[in-house]
Amino acid sequence: MAARVDQATDAQLLRQLIDGQLPDGRGRYGPFGGCYAPETLMPALRRLASASSDILDQASFQARLSTELADWVGRPTPLTPARGLGASWGAEVWLKREDLAHTGAHKINNALGQALLAQEMGARRVVAETGAGQHGVATAAACARVGIPCSVYMGEIDIERQSPNVDRMRRLGAEVIAVTGGDRTLRAAIDEAFRDWVSDPEGTYYLLGSAVGPHPYPFLVQRLQAVIGNEARAQLLHRSGALADAVFACVGGGSNAIGLFHPLLGDEQTLLFGIEAGGEGAGLGQHSATLAHGKPGVLHGSYSMLLQDVNGQVQETHSVSAGLDYPGVGPEHALLASIGRVHYDTATDEEALDALAECCLLEGILPALETAHAFAGARRWAASNPGKRILIGLSGRGDKDMPTLTKVRPGGQHATA
């Protein structure tokens, strides 16, 4: 009896998501999401929520955004048949090439869209936070293009670890502000960027980098990243004459995955797989697999799944890829996991490194370490599901990961395929 009621509810929630009725008026995706922010920010978040639908829907805004996506970002990005991987896995494999977008990853789709929105809303400056620096670089580039000043908060430890990205941001005109308090990494940087925003919520626009945070950010980021799934769906139909049997994307905060998945939610025959960072194992602090090992809780303004200990303290995380190293995940993913529309799985550091090596050798493409997790998940699935059509979200290029690769796989081992 209970199972039947649950099933009906799940199907209804999925339908509402596909029909654009979620998030609801309170920013909720079923039980997840919402807006847990200081009272001082509520008016700014409400203004942003209406802008996220009103301004984004305006024909003039859409025209400017699509022109910039074509002229400056380089969209549409190609859909590449991966014949080498396909032969090796016994599958038909297609790659959606976000690594070929300007600045080398999908993050630019969101950064550009929000920078244009900030300008449209009359903001005088943009603030952002960055961990590994990829979102900071995309934001700095987008703000330079749009012509709006930008400050990027970055933990002191990350500044040291990611000095080339700090230099890139500064050359692109951004002010990089070192965060010396808290954990001196991404979490502290988010706190500081929020504090900055609270001091001037009217004149400052907070440009968030993934499908996380208080409403309306998860919705706004999904809308701006949906260009990935919309393009890929049309390209695959055109090239292959059919939809994918299975689609894979890596999940950190969840922006590239939701951008690819959201337009495919209604394709019932297509299985969707989000691959989280399994790190070095399932133990406390060894991974960043929020949906696999987390529990519901509030982090950075949103009720979603969260890696926490028994006292509700946020856990330490680990991943060989800095972009997946986050203890939370976007609320739409939490809902998609709970209703079973998307399957979430993990790939370990080693599996991701093997998959990266295989992609280099068989396709001549060096994917980001984040992206390599999606390849590892797809490779494992293909082994038990021969002859299927597989689409992989190639979220970014791996040039930025060379220092890590040189350290953990000196000389570049061959794939173990």
Ligand X SMILES: *Cc1c(COP(=O)(O)O)cnc(C)c1O
Active-site residues, by number, are 107, 129, 395
* Interface residues toward ligand X, by CB under 6 A: 105, 107, 134, 210, 250-257, 323-324, 368, 370-371, 395-396
Q: Which residue number, 164 or 181, has a Cβ lying nearer to ligand X?
A: 164
- Compare residues 326 and 381 and give the one whose CB is closer to ligand X: 326
Q: Closest residue (Cβ) to ligand X?
A: 396
Q: Which residues pair with residue 176 across a beta bridge?
A: 152
What the block records as the tokens of 104 is: 């080398």
Q: Cβ 376 to ligand X, closest distance in Å? A: 13
Whether 141 contacts 171, CB under 8 Å = no
> DSSP 3-state assignment of 256?
helix
Q: How far is CA 124 from the centre of its chain?
A: 27
- When the beta carbons of 221 and 362 are compared against ligand X, the nearer one is 221
CB of 255 to ligand X, least distance (A): 3
Q: Is beta strand 32-33 parallel, antiparallel or unpaired with respect to 79-81?
A: unpaired
CB of 57 to ligand X, least distance (A): 24
Nearer to ligand X, 105 or 289 (CB): 105
**What is the smallest separation between the CB atom of 59 and ligand X, expressed in angstroms?**
28
d(CA 84, CA 129): 38
> Rounded distance, CA 35 to CA 119, Å?
23
What count of residues does the chain have? Answer: 417
What is the closest distance, in whole angstroms, from the C-beta atom of residue 324 to ligand X in the complex? 6
Q: Is 265 or 394 the residue whose CB approaches ligand X more closely?
A: 394
* Edge-to-edge strands, sheet with 125-130: 175-179, 150-155, 125-130, 204-206
**Residue 316 burial (C-beta neighbours within 10 Å; 0-12, 13-18, 19+):** middle
